[in-house]
């Protein structure tokens, strides 16, 4: 099952694509002029967000962790299990008002995702392990 949420504001589009496996959630937060994958943030109901930023160009790393960590903090209270947020958002020649809009857009998308997750819980599939 997957679900997509889209928000357009300040001259660019931000998209959140959600997929579920058991009670785990994968969220792709992508958008702008050059969608890509630049950071990975993980979070669970009992863990704090952890982020890995991939190299973007020589001497630099992707900065979307600011967005994914915000989303992780907002979603943490409604998670049934782990969430992985993969993100890449690049707006060419970004303007200050676009950077400012980005935080509000991520907050709005996070609330929409949280409402959807709450309305569509998953029953846990029980894992069984081999006996030795």
Q: How far apart are CA 36 and CA 46, in angstroms?
A: 29
Query: What angle do helix axes 96-119 and 65-75 make, rounded to 10 degrees?
Result: 30
Share of the chain above pLDDT 70, in %: 100
- Global confidence as pTM: 0.94
The overall average pLDDT reported for the chain is 96
Please say whether the structural domain 2-114 has been given the CATH code 3.30.70.
no
- Report the run of H or E that residue 38 belongs to, with start and end: none
pLDDT tens readout for residues 20-48: 999 999 999 999 999 999 999 999 999 99
**Where do the structural domains in the chain lie, given as residue ranges?**
2-114
pLDDT tens readout for residues 76-116: 999 999 999 999 999 999 999 999 999 999 999 999 999 99
């Amino acid at each position: 099952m997957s679900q997509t949420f889209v928000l357009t504001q300040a001259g660019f589009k931000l998209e959140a694509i959600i997929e579920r496996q058991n009670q785990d959630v994968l969220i792709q937060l992508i958008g702008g002029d050059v969608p890509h994958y630049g950071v990975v943030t993980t979070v669970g109901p009992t863990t704090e967000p952890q982020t890995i930023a991939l190299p973007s160009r020589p001497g630099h790393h992707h900065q979307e962790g600011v967005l994914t960590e915000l989303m992780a903090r907002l979603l943490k209270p409604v998670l049934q299990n782990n969430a992985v947020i993969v993100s890449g958002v690049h707006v060419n020649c970004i303007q200050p008002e676009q950077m400012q809009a980005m935080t509000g857009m991520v907050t709005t998308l996070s609330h929409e995702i949280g409402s959807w997750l709450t309305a569509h819980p998953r029953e846990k599939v029980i894992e069984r392990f081999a006996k030795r």
